[in-house]
């Protein structure tokens, strides 16, 4: 396997026995079916730009069928009426099946999304199974409260499943996003229609197959593959969907919210874009800080909403840190994601590949200093070199826009106050990182940045127990933790008079 991190050689393709593509049809009411139109679309391997398979193209009419199945399963089926223990037991079986098929699922995400196969096997797929086990354990712990009323009334609250949920998930983490959405809504007793990204439909269909094997009743989980402006729009605007949970770009999130408002005022949860800052102070360990910065933007080829694409370095260590970043970026190996020594596979598709390259050209034109990278890697597939810009100004496009690719913008600061101001100088508010040995600085800065997650002396420190979501134009609502379970539950208050009670 050639190391193409400096752009001098082409990413070689590893000989790996690719998985047989078993499921390419829509999954509605427990069955794999063709789209009503009979149409299909191509799903492409970003390693080569070549066809993997043709997948059924769902449209509004197919979404209608899926919602009808989900509505019947909610209104008349067993799933919401099972005890939490019984739902949890089936979800545990689902998790076991995911573990049994970890290699096939990881391979599907590799050929569909360009994700590292070794990382998928070791992290993404096991964590998907863990999500189902976590929420399976929560399914029988959904409790309301007894209320201390101010007059002769007895009151209590119930937490009830919200109903039919529409999930619209992105392409950068197909398995993780599936489990983060589906697991808590299943535990809550909801039924659902899920639309995976058109770039990465394959693993979602495989998970649907495993759900059936696990014993999840027909109609509870439906998967409609297709395009955002058709199938996705039909989910967001459907009059019989009670909530829509969307992860993706801020631009599309705005459209989803508008559709929800103009249809039936369904509840909305949005996890959107980010332009997250990583702030490195003078007292930081140079090697640790540079490693966090490299991981924070180049992991998953920069296709992470919480990527630390803006790196602010205090002036006392700036020059030394820049040298270390360039050194580490040179050693960051780009190539076929089936190669276990590779750190960085292809962008998800040609559109994203061209978008990232266009932002790199913007950075050059606007006067930023290109320290390393900036070009495609090889002549086959959608590989881009790890790219670092220095001398970036706050008003440059590469400092303002979410690029969603392996492009770091380096900036210098003097004081804590300046760092806070720069970090908050964005329309986004998804995450931020702080690297310092000073507890007072860490506390001050973490409380001053308007973002949903702050990582101190770490980055991408996700955990199932820790809610994740954004401020400002990074959206609202939370995935992970018990917050995710609660967003799929309604709170109902029940009140009855009490008579002749010795106390209220």
Instruction: Please give the positions annotated as active site.
Output: 271
- Give the angle 209-36-26 at the CA atoms, nearest 5°: 15
Q: Alpha-carbon distance 168 to 234, whole Å?
A: 11
Helices and strands per DSSP (H, E), number in the chain: 16, 20
Give the count of beta carbons closer than 10 Å to the beta carbon of residue 149.
13
Q: Name the 3-class secondary structure at 153.
A: strand
Please check whether residue 280 is in contact with residue 293, taking contact to mean a CB–CB distance below 8 angstroms: yes
Q: Between 125-138 and 174-188, two packed helices, what is the crossing angle to 10 degrees? A: 10
Please check whether residue 403 is in contact with residue 423, taking contact to mean a CB–CB distance below 8 angstroms: no
Cβ-in-10-Å burial (0-12, 13-18, 19+) of 272 comes to buried
Q: Alpha-carbon distance 183 to 188, whole Å?
A: 9
Q: Please give the C-alpha separations between residue 286 and each of 104, 317, 320, 357, in angstroms, as whole numbers.
A: 39, 8, 8, 29
Name residue, tokens 């007894």. 146
Q: Alpha-carbon distance 480 to 181, whole Å?
A: 9
What contacts 292, CB < 8 A, 6 or more positions away? 278, 308, 433, 435, 457, 458, 459
Q: Alpha-carbon distance 419 to 425, whole Å?
A: 10
Please check whether residue 229 is in contact with residue 197, taking contact to mean a CB–CB distance below 8 angstroms: no
Please check whether residue 488 is in contact with residue 243, taking contact to mean a CB–CB distance below 8 angstroms: yes
Please check whether residue 144 is in contact with residue 160, taking contact to mean a CB–CB distance below 8 angstroms: no
Q: Alpha-carbon distance 1 to 21, whole Å?
A: 26
What contacts 471, CB < 8 A, 6 or more positions away? 429, 430, 450, 451, 452
Radius of gyration (C-alpha) of the chain in whole angstroms: 24
Q: What's the length of the chain?
A: 504
Q: What is the token pair recorded at 402?
A: 């979410």
What are the φ and ψ backbone dihedral angles of 7, each rounded to 5 degrees? 75, 10
């Amino acid at each position: 396997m050639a190391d193409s991190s400096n752009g001098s050689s082409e990413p070689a393709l590893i000989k790996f026995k690719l998985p047989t593509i078993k499921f390419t049809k829509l999954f509605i009411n427990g069955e794999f079916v063709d789209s009503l139109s009979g149409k299909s679309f191509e799903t492409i391997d970003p390693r080569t730009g070549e066809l993997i398979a043709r997948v059924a193209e769902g449209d509004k009419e197919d979404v209608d069928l899926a919602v009808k199945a989900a509505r019947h399963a909610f209104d008349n089926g067993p799933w919401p009426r099972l005890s939490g223990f019984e739902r949890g037991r089936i979800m545990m079986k689902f998790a076991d099946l995911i573990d049994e098929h970890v290699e096939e699922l990881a391979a599907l995400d590799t050929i569909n999304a360009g994700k590292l196969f070794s990382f998928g096997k070791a992290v993404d797929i096991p964590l998907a199974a863990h999500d189902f086990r976590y929420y399976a354990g929560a399914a029988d712990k959904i409790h309301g409260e007894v209320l201390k009323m101010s007059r002769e009334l007895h009151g209590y609250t119930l937490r009830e499943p919200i109903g039919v949920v529409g999930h619209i998930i992105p392409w950068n983490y197909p398995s993780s996003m599936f489990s983060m959405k589906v697991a808590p809504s299943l535990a809550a007793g909801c039924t659902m229609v899920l639309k995976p990204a058109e770039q990465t439909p394959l693993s979602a269909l495989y998970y649907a197959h495993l759900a059936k094997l696990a014993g999840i009743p027909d109609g509870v989980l439906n998967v409609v593959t297709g395009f955002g402006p058709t199938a996705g729009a039909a989910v967001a605007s459907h009059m019989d969907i009670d909530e829509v949970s969307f992860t993706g770009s801020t631009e599309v999130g705005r459209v989803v919210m508008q559709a929800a408002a103009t249809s039936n005022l369904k509840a909305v949860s949005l996890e959107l874009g980010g332009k997250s800052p990583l702030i490195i102070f003078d007292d930081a360990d140079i090697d640790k800080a540079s490693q966090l910065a490299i991981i924070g933007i180049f992991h998953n080829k920069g296709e992470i909403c919480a990527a630390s694409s803006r790196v602010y370095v205090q002036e006392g260590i700036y020059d030394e840190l820049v040298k270390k970043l360039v050194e580490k970026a040179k050693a960051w190996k780009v190539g076929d994601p089936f190669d276990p020594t590779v750190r960085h596979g292809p962008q998800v598709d040609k559109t994203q590949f061209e978008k990232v390259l266009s932002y790199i050209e913007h950075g050059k034109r606007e006067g930023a200093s290109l320290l390393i990278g900036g070009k495609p890697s090889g002549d086959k597939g959608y590989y881009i070199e790890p790219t670092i810009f220095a001398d970036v100004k706050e008003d440059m496009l590469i400092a303002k826009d979410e690029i969603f690719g392996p492009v770091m913008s380096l900036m210098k600061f003097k004081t804590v106050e300046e760092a806070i101001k720069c970090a908050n100088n964005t329309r986004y508010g998804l995450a931020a990182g702080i690297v310092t040995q000073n507890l007072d600085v860490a506390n001050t800065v973490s409380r001053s940045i308007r973002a949903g997650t702050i990582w101190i002396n770490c980055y991408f420190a996700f955990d199932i127990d820790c809610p994740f979501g954004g401020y400002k134009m990074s959206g609202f609502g939370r995935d992970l933790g018990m917050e995710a379970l609660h967003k799929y539950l309604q709170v109902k208050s029940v009140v009855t008079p009490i008579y002749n009670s010795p106390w209220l």
